[in-house]
């Protein structure tokens, strides 16, 4: 692993982080200045219960596709306060890495989980890891926040081992309710109109997130072999710890609809699903886990 410098003092002065915590600093671009303190204005990143539930879903999908994480080198790109990275470490990873440019989030993470996870402050377009050195990467609802998601995806492919696995949680531009600002159809709008929309409702001064459609996401991952776990997780949430997607009675309704809807019809609805759960590999692989009522399917590349 290459790095510019290790620092202790900066970490210990922020957010009550302990003097033993370490954050690795690498080059960070200027295009996303607000994201240097993302967890300070997005309280969801500090919702420990919700973040750990998301981690349980991610781990369940990874274990179904790949098998146990024990003995592997695992990284969370866009880790913020580190809850998902901590769960990956607890799942048995031999080495766990957390990468972000959210400095306050990283300091909190290093303070709490620094004994189990190495946290790196760095840009996803220049990951400070050697080629082929990481077995599993998690990239969960991050791409819409970065300046050049294609460059980040290419960089993750570089550091992933030949038989490695990349988990992706991907928001869909055609999802009706925008997930960050809770405004319907916000992601449909061109940037100038989206800026006016968020200002009119007092959500923010500027809407910088840039979502892609399913077609655009397929193009972004064209160098990978991709499996879609969206419908399997929705259809069998207990198997994948996915109850947080549609909790309570709504979840029961969703499962009932999925169980009665022909697969061909569900495929037609996929372009409008708000979130995709995909697993990508550099070389052709198939899920290692048992058969499911709604099995994962290959995503055709563009």
pLDDT tens track for 198-215: 999 999 999 999 999 999
Residue 138: name the closest of 166, 172, 99, 158 by CA: 166
Name the band, by pLDDT with cuts 50, 70 and 90, for residue 28: very low
Burial of 22 (0-12, 13-18, 19+ CB in 10 A): middle
Q: What is the pLDDT of residue 254?
A: 72
Q: What is the pLDDT of residue 137?
A: 99
Residue 128 predicted with pLDDT over 50: yes
pTM: 0.87
Placement of tokens 């766990």 in the chain: 96
Q: What is the pLDDT of residue 253?
A: 77
Placement of tokens 């759960």 in the chain: 277
Distance CA 184, CA 289 (A): 37
Residue 153 predicted with pLDDT over 70: yes
Burial of 262 (0-12, 13-18, 19+ CB in 10 A): exposed
What homologous superfamily is domain 5-173+211-281 in, according to CATH? Vaccinia Virus protein VP39 (3.40.50.150)
Placement of tokens 């050195």 in the chain: 133
Please count the CA atoms within 13 angstroms of the CA of 227 that sit on its side-chain side: 24
| Tokens of residue 280, six digits | 């990508």
Taking residue 31's Cβ as centre, other Cβ atoms within 10 Å add up to 11
Please count the CA atoms within 13 angstroms of the CA of 216 that sit on its side-chain side: 13
Distance CA 7, CA 287 (A): 41
pLDDT single digits (tens) 182-201: 999 999 999 999 999 999 99
Per-domain boundaries in the chain: 5-173+211-281
pLDDT single digits (tens) 244-280: 666 667 667 777 777 778 888 888 888 989 999 999 9
Average pLDDT score over the chain: 86
- What sign has the CA pseudo-torsion 18, 24, 51, 96? negative
Residue 106 predicted with pLDDT over 70: yes
Q: What is the pLDDT of residue 248?
A: 64
pLDDT single digits (tens) 54-66: 999 999 999 999 9
228 touches 170 (CB < 8 A): no
Residue 170 predicted with pLDDT over 70: yes
Residue 76: name the closest of 89, 60, 94, 66 by CA: 89
CA-only gyration radius of the chain, Å: 19
Q: In degrees rounded to 5, what are phi and psi of residue 286?
A: -125, 155
Name the band, by pLDDT with cuts 50, 70 and 90, for residue 29: very low
Residue 154 predicted with pLDDT over 60: yes
Q: What is the pLDDT of residue 18?
A: 37
Q: What is the pLDDT of residue 2?
A: 30
Residue 58: name the closest of 78, 28, 30 by CA: 78
The residue-averaged pLDDT of 14-24 equals 40
Distances from the Cα of 11 to the Cα of 6, 65, 88, angstroms: 10, 36, 23
pLDDT single digits (tens) 37-82: 666 566 677 688 999 999 999 999 999 999 999 999 999 999 999 9
């Amino acid at each position: 692993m290459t790095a510019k410098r290790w620092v202790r003092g900066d970490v210990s002065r922020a957010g009550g982080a302990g003097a033993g915590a370490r954050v690795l600093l690498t080059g960070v671009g200027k295009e996303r200045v607000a994201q240097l303190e993302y967890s300070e204005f997005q309280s969801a990143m500090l919702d420990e219960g919700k973040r750990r539930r998301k981690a349980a879903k991610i781990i369940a999908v990874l274990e179904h596709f790949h098998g146990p994480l024990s003995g592997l080198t695992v990284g969370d790109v866009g880790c913020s306060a580190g809850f998902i990275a901590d769960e990956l470490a607890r799942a048995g990873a031999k080495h766990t890495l957390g990468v972000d440019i959210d400095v306050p989030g990283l300091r909190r993470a290093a303070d709490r989980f620094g004994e189990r996870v190495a946290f790196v402050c760095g840009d996803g377009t220049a990951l400070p890891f050697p080629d082929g050195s990481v077995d599993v990467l998690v990239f969960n609802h991050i791409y819409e926040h970065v300046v050049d998601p294609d460059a980040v995806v290419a960089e993750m492919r570089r550091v992933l081992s030949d038989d490695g696995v990349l988990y992706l949680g991907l928001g869909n531009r055609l999802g009706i309710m925008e997930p960050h600002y809770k405004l319907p159809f916000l992601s449909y709008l061109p940037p100038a109109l989206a800026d006016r929309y968020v200002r009119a409702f007092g959500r923010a001064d500027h809407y910088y997130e840039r979502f892609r459609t399913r077609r655009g996401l397929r193009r972004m991952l064209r160098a990978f072999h991709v499996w879609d776990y969206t419908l399997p997780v929705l259809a069998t949430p207990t198997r994948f710890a996915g109850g947080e997607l549609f909790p309570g009675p709504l979840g029961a309704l969703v499962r009932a609809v999925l169980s009665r809807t022909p697969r061909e019809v569900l495929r037609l609805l996929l372009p409008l699903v708000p979130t995709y759960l995909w697993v990508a590999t550099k070389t052709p692989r198939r899920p290692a886990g048992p058969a499911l009522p709604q099995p994962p399917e290959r995503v055709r590349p563009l």
